[in-house]
Amino acid sequence: QVQLVESGGDLVQPGGSLRLSCAASGTIVSIYTMAWYRQAPGKQRELVASITRYGSTDYADSVKGRFTISRDNAKNTVYLQMNRLNVEDTAVYYCNADVQGIGNFRRAYWGQGTQVTVSS
**pLDDT tens per residue across span 79-119:** 999 999 999 999 999 999 999 988 878 999 999 999 999 99
Q: Are 9 and 116 in contact, with CB atoms under 8 Å apart?
A: yes
Q: How far apart are CA 51 and CA 69, in angstroms?
A: 7
Residues 50-69: pLDDT tens digits?
999 999 999 999 999 999 99
The CB density around residue 91, as the number of other CB atoms within 10 Å, is 22
pLDDT of residue 87: 97
